[in-house]
Amino acid sequence: MIEFKRYHETATFHSPLENFNKVTIDLEIREDPLTGARSIINTYLGKKWSLYPDTDYNYLDEIGEKSKERCFLCDDNIEKLTPSYPEDIIKGGRLKFKDAILFPNLFPLTKFHAVVRITSEHYKKIGEITSSMIFNGLKLSIDFLKATFQYDNRYKYPTINANHMFPAGASAPHPHFQPVNFYIPSTYHQLLLDKARQYYEKNGSCYFVDLISIEKKLKERFIWEIGESVWLSAYSPMGRNEIHVIWQNKKDLSELDEQDLKDLSLGLERLFSYFHHKKISTYNFSLFGGPFYEKPDYFRCIMKIVNRQNVVRDHRTDDYFLQKLLNSELSELTPEELAKEIKKFFK
Ligand SMILES: [Zn+2]
């Protein structure tokens, strides 16, 4: 069944940070119970030197102000500078809900790759992004993904994704999401599907349902529960401060209803407040499901949220050889400490 594998070791040297006294640093290697993806926990890092300097808020304000005039997501420009879909794909060319607007990505990754502006307000700090902005963006994303499947039902691998601020890959600071529908899934989506199917064939149960039940008993990484969604810190993170949202009974994205999206939006608003409290200014998220409209018993919808390097002048990227080529992650905080801290923001 589910095994939480971890290995310990130590590194010893005379440290200039400790007057050249001998220091012994504890390291922990963890493995994700589903994919086997490894991560390294080094809490000495967080105590002595941070990989992630606090956000430079003066610089962030400067970026917000400077980018306003040329922003293609602001009301003055959006109709003039963004593309629209042919009528047979999206009636009217763009989808609109309140002040959220969806249009095609000018530089697509697949046949169906859209951008959703989630609010008309140009610049929002992470803690100012509200649940209603998030809901409006998610609603349009799901409407779009369903429309793409109706147009071409070979496209069964939808995800909803986001980059917030440039160290996270966003080209505009204006808050936006990116729904994407592939007919050949991404490498990681394929891995999740394959591993979850193998687990189901071997154990006769769904990995995600089993995980929820274990995590709720252990209470080490469990953060919150609302409606059908359960919020956890990742046992073996693939990004900074990785949080998982898993739906007990929703197997693919077509099953997420308005209430699920409202619950998700409320939880994200609270999570973003925690990030802001920690002087964090960036995030990425991806929401995955089983093959669209297939409702596979072996899968459950899951969102993964991570932070990236903060907005600071001359920032150092957070991805180096460890992440890009060795495909592992480093964390300066244990997932258990992270869950404990975040819980305070979900009361
Ligand atoms: Zn804007």
CA of 26 to the centre of ligand 1 (A): 45
Same domain flag for 189 and 252 = yes
CA of 73 to the centre of ligand 1 (A): 5
In a domain, 1, yes or no: no
CA of 125 to the centre of ligand 1 (A): 13
Residue written as token pair 């991806």: 286
Domain containing residue 181:
57-346
The total number of structural domains in the chain stands at 2
CA of 5 to the centre of ligand 1 (A): 45
The tens place of each residue's pLDDT in the chain, 347 residues long, gives 899 999 999 999 999 989 999 999 999 999 999 999 999 999 998 887 888 999 999 999 999 999 999 999 999 999 999 999 999 999 999 999 999 999 999 999 999 999 999 999 999 999 999 999 999 999 999 999 999 999 999 999 999 999 999 999 999 999 999 999 999 999 999 999 999 999 999 999 999 999 999 999 999 999 999 999 999 999 999 999 999 999 999 999 999 999 999 999 999 999 999 999 999 999 999 999 999 999 999 999 999 999 999 999 988 999 999 999 999 999 999 999 999 999 999 98
CA of 239 to the centre of ligand 1 (A): 27
Q: How far apart are CA 303 and CA 185, in angstroms?
A: 16
Return the biggest CA–CA distance within the chain: 70
Same domain flag for 251 and 307 = yes
- Kindly report whether the global pTM for this prediction surpasses the value 0.95: yes
Q: Which two tokens stand for residue 62?
A: 């400067």
CA of 129 to the centre of ligand 1 (A): 14
Element (H, E) at 92: none
Ion ligand 1 residues within 5 Å by Cβ: 71, 73-74, 122, 174
Same domain flag for 160 and 215 = yes
Same domain flag for 233 and 314 = yes
Which amino acid is located at 63 in the chain?
Answer: I
CA of 74 to the centre of ligand 1 (A): 4
**E runs forming strands in 4-82:** 6-15, 21-31, 38-41
**176, β-bridge pairs:** 117
Instruction: Name the CA radius of gyration of the chain, rounded.
Output: 21
CA of 64 to the centre of ligand 1 (A): 9
Same domain flag for 157 and 33 = no
Same domain flag for 63 and 36 = no
Buried b (16+ CB within 10 A) or exposed e, 128-165: ebbbbbbbbbbbbbbebbbbbbebeeebbbbbbbbbbb
3-state helix, strand, coil in the chain (%, to 5): 35, 25, 40
